[in-house]
Structure 1
Amino acid sequence: MKLDELTKTSGEWLRGSGPETDIVISSRIRLARNLARFPFPNRANSSTRTEITDLLSGHLKDLERDNPLYVWNIGALEEVDRQLLVERQLISRDLAEKEGARAVALSYEENVSVMINEEDHLRIQVLNSGFSLDECWDAINTLDDQIEEKVTYAFNEQFGYLTACPTNVGTGIRASVMLHLPALVLTKEIQKVFQALQKINLTVRGLYGEGSQAMGDFYQISTQITLGLSEQQLIKKLQEVIPSIIEWERRARKALVTANREALHDQISRAYGILQSAQTISSEETMHLLSSVRMGINLDLVHELEIPTVNELFIHTQPAHLQKIHGEKLESADRNIARATYLRERLAEANGEAE
């Protein structure tokens, strides 16, 4: 597995398959785990962190799986490669930016990611396209059991799994669903969603998790509680809420079309036109315009493109991907020009045209 190969695909989270993919981009379950007899990463010295990284890297490579895990030494990667993994939702910004021994184990399909020495010794993640939390749970539960056969987790009979952050103590689970909610943003109803979720102890984050912005109208709806409820109970709670948000977004889309189909079609067509003709364009504007086009495809207002193509553009126009595709470091202004060129060429190709 080579990192350069990742620039040729859109990754699991934007594959565009699975249930409810007009609105649900992906489902993710993450487990926080720590090893017994070792201090948490933020308390461990350099040699201990190296020992933990080497130990876990060896075990993850040796797991008997149909889809083996490939281990990458994060500290040995160039900055652009670390950022590439962040953009693909495979590692956190924290793991990319911190110092010391750390690694990530990835499946070739990009649906499994195991971070080593992030906030905890292990952050196990399974990510699937569409609304598929049950499938994520089955996969991550099996992987967790495989790892536990090789190591001893820090576990307390009263409190459950012990973690560096007290909010993760217990099951150590975070379940989340990434949604595309452009109509709720346009109708200014998105704040009502936030307020409703807050009342039932669910949180809303941006595209890249905690502390990030909701670029491209992407929102991650996540569980917060890990103590006092079982993993299945927490997942079920999320499964019960997401369909309501999906229906809310669909009603908002229908209302936009009913109120003024021509105006909406014009807005989406203008967004598409800018993407096809811009000579320079920022990442933020690209995400915003692609969001409109993606909604337009799902509303049957754009016929020349397919969802997988738009999903691919969402990720390939991000800074690190763009630089990897070009094979060189690009300053911000140069990236904006390169991004516009890439968009024009890819959209012309999708339409069967030559630029």
Structure 2
Amino acid sequence: MNLEHFLKNEAPSWMSKDGVDADIVISTRIRLARNLAGYRYPRSFSEQEAKHVDDVVTNALTNINNVMFSHFTIKEMPALQRQVLVEKHLISPLLAKKEKSASVVISNDESISVMVNEEDHLRIQCLAPGFQLLETYEIADKLDSYLEKHLPYAFDETFGYLTSCPTNVGTGLRASVMMHLPALTMSNQMKVITQMLTRLGMVVRGIYGEGSENLGNMYQISNQVTLGKTEQEILEDLQNVVSQIIQNERKARQSLMKQAPIALEDRIQRALGTLRYARVMTSDEAATCLSNVRLGVDLGLIKGIPISILNECMILIQQGFVQQYAGTTLQATERDLFRAKLLREKLNSVDENSKEKGEEKYDV
């Protein structure tokens, strides 16, 4: 497929399908960091070395028979296209900034992407809807096993897989889940939870990983330790922690419903009204409103709006996607105008579909 397909598709498979505990866990991601023996790491090698590693890795990937992949060279992309791929979680912000030979290989359904010459020679990433740690890891592991037969991985009997950053040495595994935690945030419990997770060897980040901000009550929770534990132990630890957070979020939601039902409904309906009628909207305001509406849908206070539409909207409101749809570079005020227009159009399309089916749109 050509790059235009991936840039314009706001509903990749891992966001449009239902998953386990999808009311709280938006998606599951497995990332495996790998390097080739005999080459310097990307941060220090020459353009010639970068090109050679890029060719070797992408040739191995494009020869896989049972998965359709598309290959794209990073430095051939304009900055806006790179930004859109970051917003879709197909590449990292670091890869988007690369000037030497680097690329990404993406499966047609966008559930798998392999970044070449990011921080490591290759990073395998698999995405799935909802809470599916073991299932997603199996997919990543299968691809990793195939590549290990065709590429000379850098592996040490004592330390495991060798990586550019010491924090990834060992399994090279980073498992993470994207969670929507509005009730825990509203009840001021996230600070305590974050501290608890740190003590357990986990890390809490924003929606785009390290260094990114928290948008719309979305939190990315992942393991921090990769050395001294097996892949199964890492996954089991994260599984247990996330399961507990899911329970805590559900309890917090019910508590809000009992303690302040009118205030909660007012907050949710105001957010819906803002999304449907506002003419100017920043990305922060849009993310907050989408979070409140999602909470309303999950609690049964709003009907007729599929979660998949709200997932699409979370992609649509990002700077790169707004400009992609506008077809030109926009100033901040212009982006805010266009963002509001996109959200109105998206929700109006849901309204029209509901009318055609004779459904009630919202409970008031």
Identify the TM-score tier after normalising by the shorter chain.
over 0.9
2-structure distance, mates of 1:231, 1:8: 33
Quick one: distance in 2 between partners of 1:103 and 1:291? Answer: 33
Runs of 4+ in 1 over 6 A off after TM superposition: none
Q: Deviations over 1:202-231 (max 9, x none)?
A: 110110000111111110110011111111
Q: How far, CA to CA, are the matches of 1:343 and 1:143 in structure 2?
A: 37
**Contact 1:176-1:223 within 8 A present in 2 as well:** yes
8 A Cα contact 1:4 1:324, kept in partner: no
Tell me, yes or no, if structure 1 residue 105 matches structure 2 residue 113.
no
Instruction: State whether structure 2 residue 119 is matched by structure 1 residue 115.
Output: no
TM-score computed with the length of structure 1 as normaliser: 0.97
SS at match of 1:280: coil
Query: What residue identity is the alignment partner of 1:176?
Result: S
The AA in structure 2 aligned to 1:263 is A
Amino acid at match of 2:20: P
Q: Report the TM-score, using the length of structure 2 for normalisation.
A: 0.95
1:10 and 1:316 in contact (8 A); partners too: no
Q: Secondary structure, in 3 states, of the residue corresponding to 2:176? A: strand
- Structure 2 residue aligned with 1:300: 300
Say which is worse superposed, 86-95 or 322-331, in terms of deviation. Answer: 322-331
Name the residue aligned to 1:270: 270
| Aligned 1:166-181 pairs, distance under 5 A | 166-181=166-181
Q: Residues 207 and 218 of structure 2 are in contact (CA less than 8 Å); yes or no, is this contact kept in structure 1?
A: yes
Aligned partner of 1:59 in structure 2 is 60
Q: What one-letter code is carried by the residue in structure 1 that aligns with 2:11?
A: S
SS of residue paired to 2:30 = strand
1:290 maps to: 290
Q: Return 5+ residue gaps in structure 2 as ranges.
A: 356-364
2:28 maps to amino acid: S
Corresponding residue for residue 311 of structure 1:
311
- Report the equivalent of 1:27: 28
> Aligned equivalents of 1:108 and 1:193: distance in 2?
37
Is 2:80–2:324's contact at 8 Å kept on the other side of the alignment? yes
Deviation at residue 261 of structure 1 after TM alignment? 1.0
- The answer to whether the 8 Å contact 1:14/1:25 transfers is yes
> How far did residue 64 of structure 1 move?
2.2
Structure 1 residues 316 and 3: CA distance shift in structure 2, 3 A: farther
Match of 1:336? 336
- AA aligned opposite 1:160: G
Q: What is the alpha-carbon distance in structure 2 between the residues aligned to residue 16 and residue 337 of structure 1?
A: 30
The alpha carbon displacement at 1:13 in A equals 4.1
- Residue 31 of structure 2 contacts residue 123 of structure 2 at CA under 8 Å; is this kept in 1? yes
Q: How does 1:65-214 map to 2 (within 5 A)?
A: 65=66, 67-214=67-214
SS at match of 2:109: coil
d(CA) in 2 for partners of 1:14, 1:214? 19
1:199 aligned partner, one-letter code: R
How far the C-alpha of 1:103 sits from its partner, in A, is 0.2
Aligned residues: 353
Q: 1:286 is aligned with what amino acid?
A: A
Aligned to 1:10: 11
Matched position secondary structure for 1:137: helix
Alpha-carbon distance in structure 2 between the residues aligned to 1:285 and 1:4: 28
1:180-202 deviations in Å (ceiling 9; x for gaps): 00111111111121111111111
User: Deviation of residue 61 (structure 1)?
Assistant: 0.8
Structure 1 counterpart of 2:124, one-letter code: I
Q: Which structure 1 segments of 5+ residues have no match?
A: none
Q: Give % identity.
A: 42
Q: Kindly indicate whether residue 230 of structure 2 is the aligned counterpart of residue 225 of structure 1.
A: no
Q: Tell me, what secondary structure is at the counterpart of 1:136?
A: helix
Contact 1:287–1:314 (CA<8 Å) still a contact in 2? yes
For the aligned residue pairs, the C-alpha RMSD in angstroms reads 1.3
CA contact (8 A) 1:115 1:123 kept: yes
State whether residues 26 and 179 of structure 1, in contact with CA within 8 Å, keep that contact through their aligned partners in structure 2.
yes
The DSSP-based 3-state class of the residue aligned with 2:260 is helix
Equivalent residue letter for 1:64: N
User: Are the counterparts in 1 of residues 3 and 72 from structure 2 also a CA contact under 8 Å?
Assistant: no
Q: Which amino acid aligns with 2:60?
A: H
Q: Partners in 2 of 1:70 and 1:241 — Cα distance?
A: 35
Give how far 1:97 is off. Answer: 1.0
Deviation for aligned residue 1:14: 2.5
Amino acid at match of 1:180: H
Give the C-alpha shift of residue 16 in structure 1.
4.8
The answer (yes or no) to whether the contact 2:275–2:343 under 8 Å persists in 1 is: yes
Deviations 1:120-143 (A, max 9, x none): 001111111100011111101110
Distance 2:65 2:349 in 1: 41
- Alignment check: 8 A CA contact 1:184 1:190 kept: yes
**What residue identity is the alignment partner of 2:23?**
D
Change (3 A) 1:311 1:251: same
Which residue number corresponds to residue 352 of structure 2?
A: 352
Give SS of 1:149's match.
helix
In the alignment, is the contact (CA less than 8 A) between 2:30 and 2:176 conserved in 1?
yes
